[in-house]
Amino acid sequence: MTASGGAVLLRPYGKALRLARLTARHKGRHLFVPLDHSLTTGSIAGGRPYAGLVQDLIVAGADAIIVHKGRIRSIEPGAFVGAGLVVHLSAGTMHYADPNSKVLVGSVEEAARWGADGVSVHVNVGSATEPAQLRDLGLVAGECDRLGMPLVAMMYARGESLAATASQPRTLAHLACIAADLGADVVKLPYPGSRAAMREVVEMSPLPVYVAGGDPLGGLERTVELARDILGAGAAGLSFGRCIFDAHDPMAVTSAVAAVAAGVSQDALA
């Protein structure tokens, strides 16, 4: 895999192999579906069975699913024959006094035992607990290098000091630099609001950029339009969670977005 700016990222064979598995279904751009929200907010997707939701999303075209370690035991291993498994190592709930606080609740070694193709860590830059979260990202990155595990850094600008600039390209590019400097392989960022701004972020990022989708407020057509804008700006992929599992028909949205990721060329998107 190359960074958005074109630089080749040299990795150990094990890490490169796992990255290839994560992106095996579609060439070029990819769709990851994070389902870690259940720990933060409670039941997702209208409370439908978690394992069935995972299987449906994979059948519909998701390249990888992101879950917490405890959920894996309820999912048939065969479900991941057609998609990658990413174990999320960060946690925090909406009920805590500081909703931006995140702590590590798992290790890379645990994820490897579960058969993971990658792990992810959430960092809220600008939050009261930023130092601890940065430390955790750096420590996990070292463990990932030791065990040959790809690392996805989910980076957000949070806190009063960043309220006015959280979605600006330069702020998002800074988040990508933090992820790269601490050893991540892929960075997940929020959408900056337009294709032009997204392209600016991608051009400044030293890592492949995957972009969050947010709430499903606009329905299927708006979600597909958002996917086209993100990928048309040169992003490496999508990390669509709520706009998929909170949609009226998650499989239909997954299928439509996966088709955008898989079937449209860079020239056609631009």
What CA–CA distance (Å, rounded) separates 43 from 24?
30
Active-site residue identified among 50, 156, 191, 210: 156
The residue from 188, 191, 210, 229 that is catalytic is 188
Q: Which segments of 106-249 does DSSP mark as H helices, in order?
A: 108-113, 130-147, 169-181, 195-204, 219-232, 242-245
Euclidean distance between CA atoms 100 and 143, whole angstroms? 24
- Separation of alpha carbons 168 and 140, rounded Å: 27
> Whole-angstrom Cα distance, residue 198 to residue 205?
11
215 is catalytic: no
| Helix axis angle, 50-60 to 250-263, nearest 10° | 30
Q: Does 27 qualify as catalytic in the annotation?
A: no
156: annotated active-site residue: yes
Residues with catalytic roles: 36, 156, 188
